[in-house]
Structures are given as C-alpha cells and as structure tokens.
Amino acid sequence: MGNRLSNIVTRTGDAGTTGLGDGSRVPKDHARIEAIGEVDELNSAIGLLRAERSLTDDVAQYLLRIQHDLFDLGGELSIPGMKLLNEAQLQWLEALIGQFNADLPRLKEFILPGGSEAAARCHLARSIARRAERRCWTLAATQSDEERGVAPVYLNRLSDFLFVLSRVLARRQGGTEVLWDRSRFE
C-alpha cells in the first residue's frame, strides 16, 4: 500500500498534473482523474445520506459497506491495472436490490426526486452514481475488458440500489413518492 498523507500541502499539483498510485503523473482533467473525482463525490454523498438520523441500523451498515467498496474503487482507479472490486461485491449489491425491491409496488410512472429528506439525499447520490458510471465508461473506452474490471457495472447496480432505496426510505419515513404528472402534456 502507498504512503499515507502527512503533509497535505505538497504543491506537486500546482502545474496542473496529479500523481497516481503507481507514481506516474497525469493531467488533472485526465479521464482517470475525472472518474476518481466522481467516485469520491459519490462516496461523500452516500456519507451524507448515511448521516441521516432516521436510517435504520441495517441500512446504515449497508451504506457503510458501499462506502468501503467505493474507497476500494477509488484505489483501483488510482493504480492502473489494480483490481480491488470483484464479482462478489457486485453479486452482493444485486441481492440487496432484490431484497429491498421485493415489497415495493410496481411502478406505473416515473418518480421525481424527493418523498422525504433521506429519499431526496438518496436520489442525489443516485444521480452522482450515474455520472461516476459515465466517467468510468469513458475511461473504459481506453482499456481492455480485463483492465476495466467490474467498476462501471458496479456503479450501474449501485445507482439501481439507490433508486430502490429511495423508494423504501420515502415509504418508511411517512413521505410519498412524487410521481411525474404526464397529464400536463395532454
């Protein structure tokens, strides 16, 4: 594992480049750095959601595990060729989606973000997950399937989970799902 930061101000990035975990330097707007930044923002958004006091302990623990996965993903992205996310993490997420989605009513219309504060935070994290996924696919376009790993697919499933969780949280907290009103166009 690399060195831990003890000196935060290094000035090494002042010329518009940043260091990767393998010691190489790339421009700060490189596709890899864009992906790392989006995953970091997503992790922060999930941290904000996890700070919601109304969450049950099980949901808070699931979100904490996801935060650890995202930290692994950031590490994976920072060291070209490194693989830290695996198929088991992806399968766990898929099982979690099935578990949370099992008791939800079937959707007949699109849902607008909101419903309760926790659900709204969940929707925000979901939209950031979609952006992080897009940035990982941009990076993946420059990689082989083996180099890509499961990262973009994991982020896709994570956004699905956050959508399902937003529905659950809206219902648990006495809120309502705000449905898109298509009649406005009729």
Write down the pLDDT at residue 14: 66
Is the pTM value of this prediction over 0.85? yes
Per-block mean pLDDT, blocks of 10 residues, the chain (186 long): 59 73 88 96 98 93 98 94 92 97 88 88 97 96 82 96 95 76 71
- Annotated domain spans of the chain: 22-101+108-176
> Which of 99, 128, 91 is closest to 113 using CA atoms?
128
Write down the pLDDT at residue 160: 97
Write down the pLDDT at residue 15: 65
CATH superfamily, domain at 22-101+108-176: Cobalamin adenosyltransferase-like (1.20.1200.10)
Backbone angles phi, psi at 121, to 5 degrees: -65, -35
Side chain identity at 86, as an amino acid letter? N
